[in-house]
């Protein structure tokens, strides 16, 4: 059975943190559209340069570019059993494109966990986030500090603060989320696959609640 799980939630809700925690348990590859854009930027590809222009302003990368990128990623061999999607879809047009893609691939969305977190908490989380340069592992200076300051616990690489985590860009990203991504909550609720998870709880508790709520773990 091909299983696709979509992590939905505002910037800073903990989608990446939870995807890292549950991807192995679910045996699904973690596919983050933001990570793919950042990887391209690191390699200085045309896609990376184009995406950076939008990301650094807190805007969304155009749908056609993003959809083509995810389509290519989902057809790779590691996605034969499905995928854990983080950050995609993010607009109604992307959600429709994903549905068409999954039909072609012979799969369907099994669940859409929506990690809910109020706005003031999001700002504190994003401005205190540190990300590993090598593989994108996520830390927080207060809520999830690395053992050695400035170094990743998993691969020892340098931790950095994302360009789009500056306070003014964070505010813009949250506004863009409210305008363009929040409508997907209703969309997936109507399809009967939305699962709301309280994202304000400690990281391990959110992970446990998430795994307990997913259909495969019932």
Question: Least Å distance between CB 198 and ligand AP5?
Answer: 9
Min dist. Cβ of residue 111 to ligand AP5 (A): 17
Which residue's C-beta sits nearest to ligand AP5? 34
Dihedral pair phi/psi, residue 149, rounded to 5° = -55, 130
Residue tagged active-site, from 90, 147, 175, 182 = 90
Task: Write out the residues near ligand AP5 by the rule CB under 6 A.
Answer: 9, 11-17, 32-34, 37, 54-55, 58-61, 66, 87-88, 90, 94, 125-126, 129, 138-140, 143-144, 164, 173, 199, 201-203, 206
Residue 110 or residue 140: which is nearer to ligand AP5 going by CB? 140
User: Please, which residue, 3 or 32, has the CB nearer to ligand AP5?
Assistant: 32
CA separation for the pair 47, 103 (Å, rounded): 26
The yes-or-no answer on residue 90 being catalytic is yes
Per the CB < 8 A criterion, the answer to whether 87 and 181 are in contact is: no
How many C-alpha atoms does 86 have within 13 Å on its Cβ side? Answer: 24
Give yes or no: 129 in active site: yes
Measured CA distances, 6 to 14, 33, 92, 108, 200 (Å): 13, 12, 14, 11, 19
**Residue 73 is among the residues annotated as catalytic for this protein:** no
CA distances (Å), origin 63, targets 33, 38, 51, 146: 12, 17, 11, 35
Residue whose CB is less far from ligand AP5, 1 or 127: 127
Burial of residue 85 (CB within 10 Å: 0-12, 13-18, 19+) is buried
Smallest separation, CB 175 to ligand AP5 (Å)? 11
133 counts as catalytic: no
Residues annotated catalytic, as ranges = 15, 90, 129, 162, 173
């Amino acid at each position: 059975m091909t299983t696709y799980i979509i992590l939905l939630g505002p910037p800073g809700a903990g989608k990446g943190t939870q995807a890292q925690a549950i991807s192995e348990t679910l045996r699904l590859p973690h596919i983050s559209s933001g990570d793919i854009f950042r990887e391209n930027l690191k390699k200085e590809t045309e896609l990376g340069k184009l995406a950076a222009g939008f990301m650094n302003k807190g805007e969304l990368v155009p749908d056609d570019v993003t959809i083509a990128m995810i389509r290519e990623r989902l057809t790779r061999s590691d996605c034969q059993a499905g995928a854990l999607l983080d950050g995609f879809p993010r607009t109604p047009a992307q959600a429709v494109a994903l549905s068409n893609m999954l039909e072609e691939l012979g799969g369907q969305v099994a669940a859409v966990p929506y990690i809910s977190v109020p706005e003031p908490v999001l700002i504190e989380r994003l401005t205190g986030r540190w990300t590993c340069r090598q593989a994108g592992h996520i830390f927080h200076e207060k809520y999830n500090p690395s053992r050695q300051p400035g170094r990743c616990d998993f691969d020892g690489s340098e931790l950095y603060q994302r360009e789009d985590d500056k306070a003014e860009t964070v505010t813009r990203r949250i506004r863009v989320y409210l305008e363009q991504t929040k409508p997907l909550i209703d969309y997936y609720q109507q399809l009967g696959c939305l699962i709301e998870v309280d994202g304000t709880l400690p990281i391990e508790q959110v992970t446990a609640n998430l795994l307990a709520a997913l259909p495969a773990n019932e």
